[in-house]
Amino acid sequence: MDPRVAGRALGLNPFSLLVRDAGWFGVVAFMLLIALVGGTLLVLLTASPTAVLSTQLADPYLYRVVGFTVWQASLSTLISVLLAIPTARAFARRDQFPGRGALLRLMGLPVVTPVIVAVLGIVAVYGESGLLNRYLEPIGLSWRGHFYGLTGILLAHVFFNLPLSIRMLLPAWERIPGENWRLAAQLGMTAGQRFRQVEWPALVGVLPGTVSVVFLLCFTSFSVVLILGGGPRATTIEVAIYQALRFDFEPGLAAWLALGQLGICLILVVALHRWLRAPPVSRGLKTGQPRALGFDSVSQRWFDGILLTAVCGFVALPLAAVIWLGLNGPLVRVLSNAALWSAAGRSALISTLATTLALALALGLTLSARRLSTRHRQRAAEGVLLAGSMTLAVPPMVIGSGLFLLLLPLGLTFDIATALVAIVNATLILPYLVRTIGPALMNSGARYQRLCLQLGMSGWQRFRLIDWPLLRKPLGFAVALAATLSFGDMGVAALFDTTGMLTLPVMLYHQLGAYRFNEAAVTALVLIVLCALVFIVVERLVGRWRS
């Protein structure tokens, strides 16, 4: 019998039926998330007079902002993915060289590196007065006068998204069964034929999702464009919202910009949900080793070696530059500044609050999705998990704009800035937690649901004995990643901050804006060290804790 029919027969209304199937924990988490996102959107709608819309639709500046946002995101995605394909292929072909694991871990560093720290390193290496430009000027290859703007934005976006694309594409080669490689060897396929007939069918399963993720990240980029944009000609929607609220104080314009960005992001997320479905698992007996089948020529080894060296150098140089500049800066003077550690403490507080809130929401949603799945309501379970990722369609600046306009009449916007930044950061990191711990909990439910029913095991006892051993490692990584991202995020904190010292990333941004580069170098070094400590400590505390 259909659960809704059975519920009506038992006198249950739809809400009671939902609570029975999903549990109070998940329903409360879902309602809080809907209230936060829906409430901020409602505020934006009510604060957006149509007169402002008609005026702005006639302003060519609006079309330039939207056009540049799409253009820079498209170029950044194209460059990142086109470079990631041969690099991931090289990593797949060179599967046993010394240091391969260290290089793959290097590909993960930009993900957890604070954006403003990485931008400082990029400017130090690739900027107009950077290390690389000083060596290229004698041979007439300088780009002096052209870095700030589209060039700098593209460099920074490729720095962040090229390693991410490599990590997302590499599993495609790992899923190719050995039978395919052996068949290609028996047929005498060339390198181009092998790519078209063997590698491309596996790659096409993950390529659309990678393109969508990278485009969405570049489209909603804030800190990179704010620092490297260089003026009104290189402004994105996210930066325009920030300028409309903080400098021009035009809430109506900010509201329409936020709603326009939301509409575009919603279209992207719908496509993202369609394309990010896991490709079917191959039925091959084992993965292949193409090197052992005569595919490893001298030219391929040289090509792969040069490509991996260039890509890893491109990623490592800015990080090394930050460390070098910080160690050679005024360490004692900056480290003895009490304001630095006050900002670091507020960053840690915001990170703790945001991670705790996001983890509570993620556990509520994923546990409810598992409960719905075990009751054969698969579509409802998928909908709950999708709700946990819907903040991908609502950029943090949009939620921040709604909260800003909601609390502005009450005069509380800047008084409770720490709590507001923590709430918005929680929505920022929620999708990472849901997508990491969701598969582990769903797998636990599929494997042990019947056993738990037979033993009468539920609630905390089931979570401690059954779920936690499967969950603790992915949960440790997810919580560490979420805490680090929140600790180093600058976007929403810059919107609510009026002192320049709310968080450590905002302090670093103001130091750069005041041309105090030596102090900024030391602050950046402190920030990257603290982010590394947060990631290592949290991952070990959570991932290695045994109930």
CATH classification at residue 220 = 1.10.3720.10
> Looking at the predicted structure, is the pLDDT value of residue 288 above 60?
no
> Looking at the predicted structure, is the pLDDT value of residue 484 above 70?
yes
Q: Do residues 428 and 485 make contact, with C-beta atoms less than 8 angstroms apart?
A: yes
Residue range 60-102, pLDDT digits in tens: 777 888 889 889 999 999 999 999 988 988 887 777 777 777 7
Task: Give the model's confidence band at 354: pLDDT under 50 very low, under 70 low, under 90 confident, else very high.
Answer: very high
> Looking at the predicted structure, is the pLDDT value of residue 547 above 60?
no
> Looking at the predicted structure, is the pLDDT value of residue 289 above 60?
no
Domain membership of residue 7 (yes or no) is no
Rounded to the nearest 10 degrees, what angle do helices 504-513 and 468-488 cross at? 30
Residues 420 and 533 in one domain: yes
3-state class of 287 per DSSP? strand
Residues 104 and 244 in one domain: yes
**What does the pLDDT read at residue 154?**
92
**What does the pLDDT read at residue 114?**
85
Residues 397 and 532 in one domain: yes
Residues 95 and 217 in one domain: yes
Residues 42 and 123 in one domain: no
Task: Give the model's confidence band at 369: pLDDT under 50 very low, under 70 low, under 90 confident, else very high.
Answer: confident
Task: Give the model's confidence band at 159: pLDDT under 50 very low, under 70 low, under 90 confident, else very high.
Answer: very high
Shortest CA distance to 399 belongs to which of 372, 378, 414, 421? 421
pLDDT, greater one: 98 or 161: 161
**What does the pLDDT read at residue 371?**
77
**What does the pLDDT read at residue 490?**
82
**What does the pLDDT read at residue 158?**
93
Residues above pLDDT 70, as percent of the chain: 78
Q: Do residues 529 and 140 make contact, with C-beta atoms less than 8 angstroms apart?
A: no
> Looking at the predicted structure, is the pLDDT value of residue 1 above 50?
no
CA distance 104 to 107: 5
Residue range 178-195, pLDDT digits in tens: 677 777 777 777 777 777
> Looking at the predicted structure, is the pLDDT value of residue 13 above 60?
no
**What does the pLDDT read at residue 80?**
93
> Looking at the predicted structure, is the pLDDT value of residue 214 above 80?
yes
Shortest CA distance to 25 belongs to which of 366, 353, 357? 366
**What does the pLDDT read at residue 544?**
65
**What does the pLDDT read at residue 157?**
92
Rounded to the nearest 10 degrees, what angle do helices 338-374 and 517-543 cross at? 40
Residues 103 and 161 in one domain: yes
Residue range 326-348, pLDDT digits in tens: 898 888 888 898 888 998 998 99
Residues 36 and 145 in one domain: no
**What does the pLDDT read at residue 546?**
58
Residue range 298-322, pLDDT digits in tens: 777 788 788 888 998 998 999 898 8
457-463 long-range contacts, CB within 8 A, separation 24+: none
What is the DSSP-derived secondary structure letter of residue 279? P
**Whether this model's pTM surpasses 0.85:** no
**What does the pLDDT read at residue 15?**
43
**What does the pLDDT read at residue 200?**
79
What average pLDDT does the chain have? 77
Domain membership of residue 348 (yes or no) is yes
Helical spans, DSSP H, in 328-467: 331-335, 338-374, 378-388, 396-407, 417-455, 459-462
**What does the pLDDT read at residue 33?**
84
**What does the pLDDT read at residue 48?**
66
Domain membership of residue 53 (yes or no) is no
**What does the pLDDT read at residue 229?**
78
Domain membership of residue 383 (yes or no) is yes
Number of domains in the chain: 2
**What does the pLDDT read at residue 292?**
42
Average pLDDT over every residue of 120-138: 81
> Looking at the predicted structure, is the pLDDT value of residue 284 above 60?
no
Among residues 282, 308, 327, the one where a domain terminates is: 327
Of 41-45, 62-66, 118-122, 371-375, the poorest mean pLDDT is in 371-375
Average pLDDT over every residue of 427-454: 74
Of 3-12, 201-210, 488-497, 513-522, the poorest mean pLDDT is in 3-12
Average pLDDT over every residue of 361-368: 84
Task: Give the model's confidence band at 296: pLDDT under 50 very low, under 70 low, under 90 confident, else very high.
Answer: low
Domain membership of residue 66 (yes or no) is yes
**What does the pLDDT read at residue 181?**
72
> Looking at the predicted structure, is the pLDDT value of residue 152 above 80?
yes
Residues 315 and 346 in one domain: no
Average pLDDT over every residue of 453-457: 68
CA distance 193 to 212: 27
Q: Do residues 508 and 116 make contact, with C-beta atoms less than 8 angstroms apart?
A: yes
Residues 354 and 386 in one domain: yes
Domain span including residue 153:
59-248+296-327
Average pLDDT over every residue of 385-410: 76
Residues 429 and 338 in one domain: yes
The dihedral of CA 480, 241, 219, 153: what is its sign? negative
Domain membership of residue 284 (yes or no) is no
Residues 419 and 305 in one domain: no
Residues 335 and 398 in one domain: yes
Residue range 226-280, pLDDT digits in tens: 888 766 777 888 888 888 777 777 777 777 777 788 788 777 767 766 655 544 4
Domain membership of residue 256 (yes or no) is no
> Looking at the predicted structure, is the pLDDT value of residue 283 above 90?
no
Residue range 15-71, pLDDT digits in tens: 454 454 445 677 788 888 888 888 887 887 777 666 666 666 667 777 888 889 889
